[in-house]
Structure 1
């Protein structure tokens, strides 16, 4: 018999198309849990980052088990939490907040989600000597740390906020070794000897059309991955595929980070394969 047990949700901006509610609720149903997952779209509610403390207060008081955090609040939310996991503290980015015993504890499951997607999604023998990454924000911090943990030789990071890119690169070099991260100067030069390309920006999402990489710079020897999953094939991935690149969409990262968050919320291990099947079914319109 299914019982009501967990209130959860997602805080972000322009997130009406998110499939996170389906992912978490379907896994809860499969495990005999009554899990409710709500969207808190600050754009739709005419709110901004300054409203985060009030919103967290309200959710905590309402008895929520926790909430996920997405663009653009993964870094801003850290100032309003009581504690960060070691991993979240190291990268300064949170995608999962757990309310426990009167405290708000921040975690980051994006790192494991991104790394697992690369491990299982790219062909065996893919090269990881040098990677060019677009974006150095909350999601970009997670993907960059994941790349370092997977043994990538060097990551070159491009971000419109140069100071943010510099701070991320400094942190990466301190933790993983000097010279393993640098701020990009010119994109075409950085791509000359790159093995892979990561888009860790929202560019390509339904609300942020376009591509983070001009198609003229794409070469068939690249692997290219995008953290965006809606649409599943972004303009970047479509143009990369046409250029002969190996491509990897953001669905695997989304599923694996959700599985980690589900475990934080419920204390139960999620079935990532089952969540992936639900996710693919939802994307193709088969929601049976």
Structure 2
């Protein structure tokens, strides 16, 4: 049996078991996908150690990692894929010859879904990413890698600067994101030239469904497509703001499915039917 799972906290709203169960069934693979809720460190340190040790021993064949452990697990890996090393965050763990390999499918998952939903109309190749945590790292990396100019807006400017510096060190130094405060004054000057707004923070996620990362004092950029990584609820406060302003917008369900499928392809070595995953949540 292929034993898979998800490490993070909290996990009560996770759709991952349903997505993977549907794909495994369609692929004809005998497998299971379990949830491993691990509180933030230091409280969850011993639990995380136990789960990763089980994987080293072959009891678990593959793990996904979500908030708040995408960077926590870096210190437990034996090696990394080039993508995970460049991003500085792990969302997928592979097991090979007793060693744990940290991978990241968030970046490729985000780009694949952005290409699916982004309208084929001219727009500035300038993006504003809201948030500077583990999810933001993958988004900023993928946008910089595909030629976008990126500003990272965070409530803690030092966190945005640290993210910009770390990605600059791992990529072409000329492709550097610009850190800014997530405040109306800082964002206002970017509005005329912004073609993409991405929420990579937890603002608007269940249970804080009324929250929006975009300040209500200023309008969204009129040329922008709005992409919210949050998918619970399906229509977040930010997406409602965007549609009320006449803008196209999408939630993160497509990214969730794509990164999950890419992870399962790594573990199984087989193509994964995305349609089976979409059908189980519709």
- Work out which of the residue numbers 144, 151, 156 in structure 1 matches 2:151: 156
1:228 matched residue in structure 2: 230
Shift of 1:128: 4.4
> Matched residues in 1 for 2:192 and 2:180: separation?
12
Q: 1:79 to 1:182 in 2, by over 3 A?
A: same
Shift of 1:195: 1.4
Pick which of 93-102 and 158-167 moved more. 158-167
String of CA shifts for 1:51-80, please: whole Å, max 9, x gaps. 422331134436111110001111111111
SS of equivalent residue, structure 1 residue 33: coil
Unmatched 5+ stretches in structure 1: 282-288
Equivalent pairs counted in the alignment come to 274
Shift of 1:179: 6.0
Q: 1:83 to 1:13 in 2, by over 3 A?
A: same
Shift of 1:220: 3.4
Pick which of 92-101 and 54-63 moved more. 54-63
> Matched residues in 2 for 1:131 and 1:266: separation?
35
Q: 1:214 to 1:164 in 2, by over 3 A?
A: closer
Q: Is the 8 A contact 2:109 2:258 kept in 1?
A: yes
- Work out which of the residue numbers 77, 102, 125 in structure 1 matches 2:121: 125
- Work out which of the residue numbers 73, 79, 89 in structure 2 matches 1:83: 79
Q: 1:181 to 1:219 in 2, by over 3 A?
A: closer
Shift of 1:263: 0.9
Shift of 1:260: 0.5
1:166 matched residue in structure 2: 161
2:242 matched residue in structure 1: 240
> Matched residues in 2 for 1:126 and 1:113: separation?
23
Q: Does 1:14 align with 2:10?
A: yes
Shift of 1:43: 4.2
1:34 matched residue in structure 2: 30
Shift of 1:50: 6.0
Q: Does 1:109 align with 2:105?
A: yes
Matches within 5 A, 1:253-268: 253-268=255-270
> Matched residues in 2 for 1:121 and 1:218: separation?
19
Q: Does 1:212 align with 2:213?
A: yes
SS of equivalent residue, structure 2 residue 116: helix
Matches within 5 A, 1:42-53: 42-43=38-39, 47-49=43-45, 51-53=47-49
String of CA shifts for 1:210-240, please: whole Å, max 9, x gaps. 1111244324322100111111111111111
Shift of 1:271: 1.6
Shift of 1:246: 1.1
Q: 1:179 to 1:32 in 2, by over 3 A?
A: closer
String of CA shifts for 1:226-276, please: whole Å, max 9, x gaps. 111111111111111111111011111111101110011211111223322
Q: 1:132 to 1:275 in 2, by over 3 A?
A: same
String of CA shifts for 1:11-51, please: whole Å, max 9, x gaps. 1111211110011111000011112111112249x943564
Q: Is the 8 A contact 2:8 2:36 kept in 1?
A: yes
Q: Is the 8 A contact 2:8 2:66 kept in 1?
A: yes
Shift of 1:176: 3.3
Shift of 1:96: 0.3
Q: TM-score when scaled to structure 2?
A: 0.90
